[in-house]
Each structure stands twice: as structure tokens, then as C-alpha cells.
Structure 1
Amino acid sequence: MKGMKPYVVVFVIQTIYAIMFLLSKAAFDHGINNFIFVFYRQAVATIFLIPFVFIFEWKLAPPLSLRTFCKIFLLSFFGITMAMDLNGVGLIYTSPTLAAASTNCLPVITFFLALLLRIESLKIKTVAGIAKLVGIVACLGGAATLAFYKGPHLQLLSHHHHLLGYHKQHDQSHSPSGTWIKGCFFLLLSNTFWGLWLVLQAFVLKDYPSKLSFTTLQCFLSSIQSLAIALAIERDIEQWKLGWNVSLLAIAYCGIIVTGVGYYLMTWVIEKKGPVFLAMSTPLALIITILSSIFLFGDIISLGSILGGFMLVVGLYSVLWGKSREQTQKASQDLEQASS
């Protein structure tokens, strides 16, 4: 039973993210401004995390230099503030299913960025190198399919017979082609910023290794940054008011469950099983989102979304397999050198 715990935890993590996509989309359809939503979400996350910093890391955290602070500020701006703002805009223009599908290309984007920064290598004359290259191509093909091809619409339930009786204002089957492509572009750009954030975090953590304080500081800085952006875009005070509705639920959920519980569970899984194990569970969020969209909200899923999502999953596993094979070969070579 103990050996099953990591599998249960990754299922919980991906369920958390699937619910995040669905709740966020519902909040946007309810009328909350995306940029205001990001500010409230990050503010709630900051308030939630600060007590834990005082309890666990207040006396252990290293001093923060001005140079490191500037690095964290820029990392927060591009990797969190801009990524979340763009993801929200993309979600408004598309659907929770597409947003969940786009996360499957995140490990591939991260690898590609690491390749450009010469952190990773690509040896196309090896089987592992070919697998990585195939993964990148499949990811690009999947993204293009999601953006430019819809195909027949697959409606498994009537809009009058789904469980929640909720009918969205922006059904993907009726979204204008230009709007859909624009949404795909924003989601891809958002994942690119997230990928860059993941790659550059490793460098910043060397200067400031206190992970909880580092995460909390990023949440705090991103809340200030997102506040400035939201104030510049939306100055109507009525838009800032929150009621007891799905928008408040989505903000609390994203701030506390996704940032607080989700981040902790991901850290636990990476420590127990490694980052590859966590990355391999990413398609679960897509499957859960598709099923929830169909049975809870009566979504109409297009064939293009299914094909594009499948290609992204193939690309993900191809890159992860190539990476895993390279690590296994390197470990074997190191063992042979040590024994000789």
C-alpha cells in the first residue's frame, strides 16, 4: 500500500489542476476580469503561505541580496505574472480542455529552452536523441492541430442532460476561428514563459535555496505586479468587487489549493519519484478535464482537440523516454568507469 502512495498523490495533483482549469473558465464566463482574477489569486496565495514561512524558515532563510532580489522579481514577472495573465486570456478564448492539453507541451518546451541555453544536449545520431527530436516535432504538430483544425464535433451528452445544467457563454464549437487561434497562441506563449521559469529557477535557487521563502516571495511580487497590470487595464471599481459566487470560489481554490497544497504535493512527488514521474502524469489532467467538461458542463469536444491532445501526449512521452534513456546510459557508463 505504501508503494501506491506516489501514484495516488499524482492523481490528486492532476485532479487539482483539472479543477483549476474548469473553475477558472467558469469564473471568467461569470464575468470576472482575468487580470483582476490573477491579482486576487496571488494575493490569497501570499497570505496563505506567509505563516508557514514564519514557522518553518524565518530563522533558516539566507540573507537576500539586491542582485538576487532583482532576479526573483524578473522571474516572478515573466514566469508567474505574465504566464498566468496570458493563460487566463487563452482560456477565455478557448476551453478548459485545450488549456489542459497545452500543459502537455510544457516539459517539451522546457527541454527545448534548456537546449537553447545549452543546459541540455541533443545527439541526433543516437536513439535517445531521435526520440527527443520526434517529441519536439510531435509537440509542434499537436499545437498546430489544436490551433488550426477543429474537425467534427463530438457531443456525448445533450446540453439539457448534463449533470450541472451549466451552459457556457463561449462554447468552443461556436468560437470564431480567429479567436480560437488567438487563444491557442496565448496558451502556447504562457507555457513558454512557464518553461523559461522552470529552467531559470535552478540558477536562482543556487543563490537563494530556501524553497518556501522563495515561493512565497514570488507570490508576493507577482501579486504586486499583477495589481499594477490590473489597475492599468480595469479601473471600474465595480469590477473589483467580489460576491459569494464561483469567482470567489475559483480565487480561493487557486490561491490555497493549487499554490499551497499543489506545490507541496509536487515537491513531495519529485523528492520520492523524481521529476520525470511527475511529468508523465500530466496527461491525467487532460483526461479528467475532458470527462468533467462532457459530463458536468455538457461540453462539445472537437476531433481536432482530441487529435492535438494525443499528439502532445506522444511528444511528451517521447521526450521523457529519450531523456530517461540518456540518464540510464550515463549511469551505466559512470558505473563502468568507477569499476575499471
Structure 2
Amino acid sequence: MWSSELTAVILLTIECLDVGLITLSKAAMRRGMSDYVFVVYSNALAVPVLFLCSLLFHRRRSPPPLTPSILCRIFLLGLVSCSLQMLKFIGIGYSSPTLASAMTNLIPAFTYVLAIVTRMEKLDLKVKSSRAKCLGTLVSVAGALLITIYKGPGIEFASTTPSMLNHNLLLPRSNWIIGGFLTAAAAFMVAVLLVFQTSIIRDYPAELIVTLISHIFATMQSSLVSLIAERDPSAWRLRLDMELIAVGYSGIFVVALRGAVYAWVLHQKGPVFVAMFKPAGIVIAVIMGVTFLGDKLHLGSVIGAAIIALGFYTVVWGKAKEEKMAEDIAACGVNTSSHRVPLLQNKSTEV
């Protein structure tokens, strides 16, 4: 099992890749690429990558047999994945990467509520680790909202270009509202995906197989929707420019890699642990904007990033505390049973 610290580093890396995808997809859509077609090609490219990884991983150890019940649940998982991708990228097309990153701040709260409702997480405020996870999640969401709402005075480093947020304010208000609603709905669907996928993997512990089959279904489902929604045949032709780069990046580095990593971490740590890293996306977006786009850094971003870091540490500490308690209980059980065996043996000998 990965340690909580190593898992945190891996999930932060995935969030960096996810923020890059949001920016690349928006650039490709501005050049005329259909968001429906983008979802189809991204999932289709991820399938052979996941298939190869599954073959390598299971070359010596066969996966457990698939039952009709598990296959039906994976089909529904693919439908959820297809729906959230459609909502997300259509929402980005109506609004902006900034708003899409901001809406991901809702994912930890949605996931935490769903995990408690489905009894994947226990909310016992008498236990210190449970209080830490609850408080850390709330702190992370608060920090991300602070970055989104409060700008504060600017911090000058070098010559800056107009902020992306100021450019976004020029968008039509109707488009901004539609985009906000769609990206918020996508955030809720992400929470549903994390909780539902965790339940499947716990019953069928073959993470890569579940991820592979779900993306096969998602490719089929998104293709059907796209053929109905996108009537222009020329929209299916990929140009050798930003469109091809965006699809390749999305299929390999985000859809396939993120899907495999999420499945593994969901099995080991649960949905809340994965979801609480989502607010890091807004921090990463700010850092990338300052570094590569010359955006101005504001005091609100610095304070919000510090609050999110504090929330990260609190949740990771709470999760590590839970794992340590579980290990201590298991060790105590082994020691107790080992002490009991000689007594039983002595008693049987005496008899």
C-alpha cells in the first residue's frame, strides 16, 4: 500500500496534468474543435493504453471473473464518466478554464456527503482522526473559495499581461451562467463517480480492468451522443495542430493515467481522500498563470494557497492516523491469538 505522503504527491501531479488539460481543451475549442468529438477521441485513445497496461499487470496473475452484476455496474460507471466529461467540456466552452477550476472546489463537499450517506466514511466527531479529516476538507474548500472570491492587492514580480479573469468578465452573462451550471453539475458527477467506482472496486478488486471496461463503455456512449449532437462530418477530422495535441494529451496523460491512479487510490484510501485534492487545481492554475502567462499574483491567492496546504496536511494526518490505528488493532489481534494458542495446546495436552 502506498503511504499517504507518496499518494499525496502522486495526486498533486495528476491535478497538474488536469489543469493543463483544461487550458489545452479550451485552446482547441477556440480553434473550432467540437467538445463532443473531443470526449470521444480522448476516451478512444485511452482504451489501447489501458489495455496494454492491463496485459502487463495481469500477465502472471489473472483478474477475478466478471459477473453480470459487476459488468452492469461498470456500464453505469462508464455512463457517469461520459456524462461528467460532456458537462465539463461543454461548460468550459461556454465559460472559461478559470471558472471550471473554481467549480472543482465543490467536489470535496459533494464527495464527503455522498460517502457519509453510503457509509463509506464514518463521521464520528469523538475520534480525533475523523475530526481532522472533516476539518481538513472544510479548510481546503474554504481556501479554494478564498482564492476564487478574494483577489487582494497585487504582488509584482515582472511585467504582467492582462489577467484571464478580467478577460472572462467580457463574456456574455448568459454564457457565463450556463457554463457555471454545467461545470457545477460536472463537479457533482465527479463525486458520484468517485463513490460509485469505490464501491465497484471493493467488490471487484481489479482496478485496471474496471478502468479499462468503463472507458470502453464511455467511448461507445459518447460516440452515440456525438453522432446525434454533431451533424457536421468535418468536425470529426483532427487537424495536425492544437487539436491533435489536446486529444493526445487528454487520452494518454489524463484520461488513462488519471483513471488508473484514481482507481488504485480509491481502493486503498477511499473517495474522500481523492476528492480533497481537487481544490489544489485552482492553486496550480494560479501558479501556472503567473509562471507561463505572466498573470499578476494577488495576496488572496497566497493566503488561499496557505489555507489549502493546511487543509491538505490535516486530512493526510487524519488518514495516516486512521491507518496507524488499523495496523495497531490488527497487530493486537495477532498477538492475542498467538498468546492463546499455547494455552489451548497445553490444556489439550493435560487432558
TM-score normalised to structure 1 length: 0.74
Counterpart residue type for residue 174 of structure 1: L
Q: Say if 2:211 is the partner of 1:210.
A: no
Aligned equivalent of 2:225 = 229
The 1:174/1:51 distance shift into structure 2, 3 A limit, reads same
Count of residue correspondences: 329
Unaligned runs of 5+ in 1: 161-166
- Structure 2: how far apart are the matches of 1:50 and 1:75? 18
Aligned equivalent of 2:87 = 86
Q: Say if 2:194 is the partner of 1:193.
A: no
- Structure 2: how far apart are the matches of 1:212 and 1:18? 24
Check conservation: 2:94, 2:176, Cα contact below 8 A.
yes
Which deviates the most, 124-133 or 82-91? 124-133
Check conservation: 1:105, 1:139, Cα contact below 8 A.
no
1:255-334 to 2 correspondences below 5 Å: 255-264=251-260, 285-298=281-294, 319-326=315-322, 328=324
Q: Percent identity?
A: 29
The 1:193/1:256 distance shift into structure 2, 3 A limit, reads same
Q: Say if 2:268 is the partner of 1:248.
A: no
Which deviates the most, 282-291 or 243-252? 282-291
- Structure 1: how far apart are the matches of 2:54 and 2:134? 42
Check conservation: 2:155, 2:296, Cα contact below 8 A.
yes
Check conservation: 2:191, 2:275, Cα contact below 8 A.
no
Q: Say if 2:62 is the partner of 1:60.
A: yes
| Candidates 69, 75, 78, aligned match of 2:77 | 75
Check conservation: 1:108, 1:319, Cα contact below 8 A.
no
Structure 1 residue 223, shift from structure 2 partner: 0.6
Which deviates the most, 278-287 or 300-309? 300-309
Structure with the greater alpha carbon radius of gyration: 2
- Structure 1: how far apart are the matches of 2:106 and 2:304? 11
Structure 1 residue 200, shift from structure 2 partner: 1.9
- Structure 1: how far apart are the matches of 2:110 and 2:100? 15
- Structure 1: how far apart are the matches of 2:175 and 2:134? 30
Which deviates the most, 235-244 or 322-331? 322-331
Q: CA RMSD in A?
A: 4.3
1:229 aligned counterpart, secondary structure:
helix
Q: Deviations over 1:132-185 (max 9, x none)?
A: 5545655666687688x476796965448xxxxxx9899323234554444343
Counterpart residue type for residue 206 of structure 2: S
Structure 1 residue 72, shift from structure 2 partner: 0.7
TM-score normalised to structure 2 length: 0.72
- Structure 2: how far apart are the matches of 1:250 and 1:203? 32
